[in-house]
Amino acid sequence: MKIRKMMKRYCPKCKKHTEQKVSQSKKKTPFSTHPLAKAGKKRRGFGHGFGNRGTRGSKPAIGSFKMTGKKSSKKTDFRYECKECKKIWVQKKGFRAKKIEFT
């Protein structure tokens, strides 16, 4: 998907439409946004594996042959930088796209 580098958007600080620079932030893992949350996490529950991982029975673990829970596209995470007040606004809702191109 092609995205324009400069966009005219509404800036709540300037209270008018201004030229804003669009950029995509880095891909984040769940704990990079809240690093301290990792420290207190106990190795328990759903996050730490579920089931017996196919060790019992003849079938391999379902995760090894099926694309379960895997999405091939990522949600966009745009930042809009207002040219006039230099404030950066984060987009409200991302949409799924495999590839983002800035033109």
| Interface contacts to Zn ion, rule CB under 5 A | 11, 13-14, 82, 84-85
Minimum CB separation from Zn ion for residue 15, in Å?
A: 8
Q: Which of residues 91 and 100 has its CB atom nearest to Zn ion in the complex?
A: 91
12 DSSP assignment: T
Give the separation between CA 2 and CA 77, rounded to whole angstroms: 14
Minimum CB separation from Zn ion for residue 87, in Å?
A: 6
Minimum CB separation from Zn ion for residue 66, in Å?
A: 48
Minimum CB separation from Zn ion for residue 102, in Å?
A: 21
Q: How many CB atoms lie within 10 A of CB 82?
A: 19
Q: Which of residues 61 and 91 has its CB atom nearest to Zn ion in the complex?
A: 91
Q: Which of residues 1 and 84 has its CB atom nearest to Zn ion in the complex?
A: 84
Q: How far out from the chain centre does Cα 60 lie?
A: 31
Q: Which of residues 77 and 81 has its CB atom nearest to Zn ion in the complex?
A: 81
Give the separation between CA 94 and CA 74, rounded to whole angstroms: 9
Q: How many CB atoms lie within 10 A of CB 9?
A: 14
Write out the two tokens for 45.
């529950």
